[in-house]
Amino acid sequence: MSANPNHHFFDGFYQEIWPQLLPEQLTRQEVEHLFVAYGLNTQTPVLDLMCGPGRHALALARRGTPVTAVDNLTPYIQQLAEWATKESLPVRTICENLLDWVPLAGHHWALCMGNSLNFFSPEELPLVLQKVSDSLVDGGYFWINSWSIAEIILPQNLDGRSSTATIGRFQHTNRFAIRHDPLRLEIESRIEQASGPAEEKTGIDFLYSVDEWREYLAAAGLRLIKVESIPGKRTFQPGDPRVYLLSQKQVII
């Protein structure tokens, strides 16, 4: 495994605050889009990569779609497995870092939502994308969600700035710095309670442009076909708060 600090950024206190940062309505809208626009059903197995607490895996499986969910943090995977067992859902869980994970062929869809792929460096990202491609059937789709691509972060002029928010029982402060070679956003995170210990961590979002994403995906046999800020409704424009990248595995003749 690499020394990338992101591999442990979301353990500890983050396990409690992360679900509060992403509204359930957003997950419902994303999953509903997949069913309405692309006809997911009980015969379209989905791979949910860096699944975290499993918000997409559970929402898909509750509608009958079989899901394989992968994450490197044991507490998330254990919690997801417990929910799947309790509700008798078609969810298979794997606790593994994507750099060590062995691809699983036969999936019609792969998802990596919630900004996760930005955690991988330019040396690591091609390895991960090739594994995703190897897990898809020809013509299968790969859907990525992010709010840390170059066209989103750079217009915000975050270098040297900070933000503080109260999330449940925690106060969460982030301090930002833009670094180069490779281009990235470094985040010094401090999470503290009114009483008790605080957690301090460093996270890195590697900032790839849309054109760079297109090239990385193409190298893994995945053609970028849609770049949206609201799935099915709005094409992405620089400065939009989030992006959805949809690619499709090319059929080998």
Model confidence over 27-57: pLDDT tens digits?
A: 999 999 999 999 999 999 999 999 998 999 9
The order of strands in the sheet holding 136-146 is 91-95, 67-71, 46-49, 107-112, 136-146, 243-249, 222-230, 234-235
Q: Are residues 96 and 68 in the same domain?
A: yes
Q: Do residues 88 and 170 both lie within one domain?
A: no
Whether 127 and 245 share a structural domain: yes
Whether residues 89 and 196 share a domain: the answer is no
pTM: 0.94
Q: How many CB atoms lie within 10 A of CB 76?
A: 22
The better pLDDT of the pair 16, 199 is held by: 199
Output the domain CATH number for residue 107: 3.40.50.150
The answer to whether residues 221 and 127 belong to one domain is yes
Quote the number of domains for the chain: 2
Q: What are the CA-CA distances from residue 218 to residues 142, 223, 253 (Å)? A: 12, 5, 17
Average pLDDT over residues 182-189: 95
At residue 1 the predicted structure's pLDDT band, cuts being 50, 70 and 90, is very low
Q: What is the rounded average pLDDT of the residues 162-166?
A: 93
Q: Is the pLDDT of residue 142 over 50?
A: yes
Span 188-212, average pLDDT: 91
> Quick check: 189 and 203 in contact, CB under 8 A?
yes
197 and 158 co-located in one domain: yes
Token digits for 75? 């507490």
Taking residues 161-181, report their average pLDDT. 93
Is residue 11 domain-shared with residue 121, that is, in the same domain?
yes
pLDDT at 159: 97
Are 109 and 45 contained in the same domain? yes
> Residue 165 sits in which domain range?
152-204
**Looking at this protein, which amino acid is placed at residue 11?**
D
pLDDT tens digits, 122-135: 999 999 999 999 99
pLDDT, mean of residues 192-201: 86
Helix, strand, or coil here: 232?
coil
Q: Are residues 22 and 136 located together in one domain of the fold? A: yes
Q: What Rg value do the Cα atoms of the chain yield, rounded? A: 18
